[in-house]
Structure 1
Amino acid sequence: MTVLSDREIKNPHGTFVKTRFLLPSLTKAEKKVAVFLLEKPDLVLGLTLAEFAEAAGSSQASVLRFCQKLGLEGFSELKLHLTKELSVKQPDVTSQEVSLDDSFAEIMEKVFLINIQTLQDTLALNAQNCEEALNALLTASRVIFFGMGDAIIPCYFADIKFKRLGINSQVHSDPDLQLTMASLLEPGDVAFAVSHSGRSRTIVEAMRLAKERKATTISITKYEKSPLTKVSDITIFTATVDTTLGKEIIARRVAEQAILESLYLGLLAKKRQQYEKNLKITTEVIKFNKL
């Protein structure tokens, strides 16, 4: 699975976003390259490939492998992106830690900034993977969503949206029902999981069962190296930076919901004639619930 093959960096700081995302999965030598880049990007611009490798305490081969993992052809292209990105001030989200001593106005500002940055960074990671997910959904016989805890919320959101288009979708919060549904999936079905950590036991098992049944498995998670990604055909990554007290910011849920909303609108755009008709019917019928 290629995570970062999209050549167009739409986020003005896409290289930094992708570098931070890749850090946990890099080799020791590649990690030295990444850390040096994040800490001294201005210095990198004035270095040759050999000088950069030496300064980072790594090798030229490791630098080139790192560039390839960013989706770049080589060191020259990396420097080109750095030149463009350093011309735009990079927001320091890590400095936006929410304190109980903050005024309410400060708390609001920090929460909004964290959510905005999370959405921008997530967008920089996922162009190709979202396209693959959309194509899988377009041909799906049915879509089953899986999530635990507050991760079930974006699943319910997506299920409602998909149903209004006439898509055969389901979501269940009960762990037993989730495993039951997964065990009965068939080729042509899509199992769609949402898990920030990628380590929810029930969700991972449900996706394993779905994959075993030859259904297409799609997941949204933050971590590339997690049990969930191992049982996912397509993985969409969120780039959440949580600096709030107790690490309970809703930024991860906002990013997940934005991804699902994008897929919903993508489906509507691709099958406009069919889905617009269904949406008109379902929109009209639920007017009954409003006075």
Structure 2
Amino acid sequence: MSVLNEIAWLLPELAESQQKIAKFILDNPEAILVMSSSRFAEDAGVSQSAVIKFSQKIGMKGFPALKIVISEELGRNNQFKTYPHKALHNAISSEDSLMVMAQKLAHEKTAAIIDTTKKINFAVFQQVVDIINHAQRVQIVGIWGSGLTAKDLSYKLQKIGILCLAEADLHVQLATAQALTPKDVQIVLSFSGKRKEMRMASTMAKAQGATVIAITGNKETPLAKLADYVLESISDENEWRSSSISSRTAQNTLTDLIFLALLQRRKEIAKPLVLNASMTINNLDD
């Protein structure tokens, strides 16, 4: 994850003085590059030691190291703004060799998995798994790239005996949301958390008393504020996004973990179902 994105993700969880530092950096990323730590502290309204501690909190040795990383990040962003015709996806350029593209892609997707896993609140995650396990029905909502993740999760959950509703058609999604009950769960996937359609579906589900679980970019998205439970899918697609690549990787990290946790929780019922499904499919090849 880029350092500016990491600071933005951390912002809601920071102490007051650290929030001042984070907001100052996010508002003035270019200006801070020529500041000393003492000048930065004065302008941000914090102590110099707080600036050093903040830098260390996000994995830097100190303020100079933080400035170097931000400078490099701004340089990459400016390069794609100056030469947009060279951009393929995120940090991947049209001038990269196939090997370099593969390396950058692997780094991006690996970072999404690691960053998403680091953000998991496992106490909340266990609650989410328990709620899904006891749900009468589970509606899984998503469009575009998130719709692919939604469909994949629905296949997995149905395989272990959980009744899922996952339709690609938006109108069907909204109609289904209106028909949910307090015994049902809605899982809604949206990396940006800003899609009006997803917020409508969640609002309708909440109105029927269903529990809403959001898988979204961070806890501050509009969708997250509607949900009963939030799981954060972290990826660094902020430069030039050609498709939902690492964001879908981040979502799959969470949905696959949900599936595995439910498989573990329901092993007496689920494992025979998985084995029977596998045997049935194998018999089709005979």
TM-score, normalised to structure 2, is 0.74
Q: Give, as a single letter, the amino acid of the residue that structure 2 aligns with 1:227.
A: P
1:34: how far off?
A: 2.6
2:271 corresponds to 1:276: yes
Cross-structure match for 1:32: 20
User: Structure 1, residues 211-254: CA drift from partner, whole Å, max 9, x if none?
Assistant: 11111100111143322112210111122112664453500001
Map of 1:228 onto structure 2: 223
The farther-off stretch of 273-282 and 259-268 is 273-282
- Report matched runs for 1:168-247 at 5 Å: 168-242=163-237, 245-247=240-242
Identity level (%): 21
Whether the aligned pair in 2 keeps the contact of 1:114 and 1:241 (CA below 8 Å) is yes
The yes-or-no answer on 1:124 pairing with 2:118 is: yes
Distance between the aligned counterparts of 1:158 and 1:114, measured in 2? 22
- Selected match of 1:104 from 98, 102, 111: 98
Distance 1:189 1:178 in 2: 14
CA distance in 2, matches of 1:99, 1:25: 34
Alignment-derived partner of residue 285 in structure 2:
290
Measured in 1, the distance between the counterparts of 2:255 and 2:227 equals: 17
Number of equivalent positions: 251
Q: Partners in 1 of 2:40 and 2:95 — Cα distance?
A: 44
* Separation of aligned partners in 1, 2:240 and 2:155: 32
Gap runs ≥5 in structure 1 = 1-12, 40-46, 64-74
Separation in 2, partners of 1:53, 1:135: 47
Q: Does the CA-based 8 Å contact 1:99-1:244 persist in structure 2?
A: no
Q: Do the aligned residues in 2 keep the contact of 1:23 with 1:34 (CA within 8 Å)?
A: yes
| C-alpha distance after superposition, 1:77-107 (max 9, x if no partner) | x9699489558x99x7956821111111101
1:284/1:81 CA distance change after superposition, 3 Å: farther
Unmatched runs of 5 consecutive residues or more in structure 2: 30-36, 77-89
Question: What SS does the aligned partner of 1:224 have?
Answer: coil
- In the aligned structure 2, how far is the partner of 1:143 from the partner of 1:118? 26
Q: Provide the C-alpha distance between the structure 1 equivalents of 2:12 and 2:41, rounded to a whole number of angstroms.
A: 22
> Does residue 21 in structure 1 map to residue 9 in structure 2?
yes
The verdict on how the C-alpha distance between 1:124 and 1:25 changes in structure 2, with shifts beyond 3 A counting, is closer
The one of 109, 121, 131 equivalent to 1:115 is 109
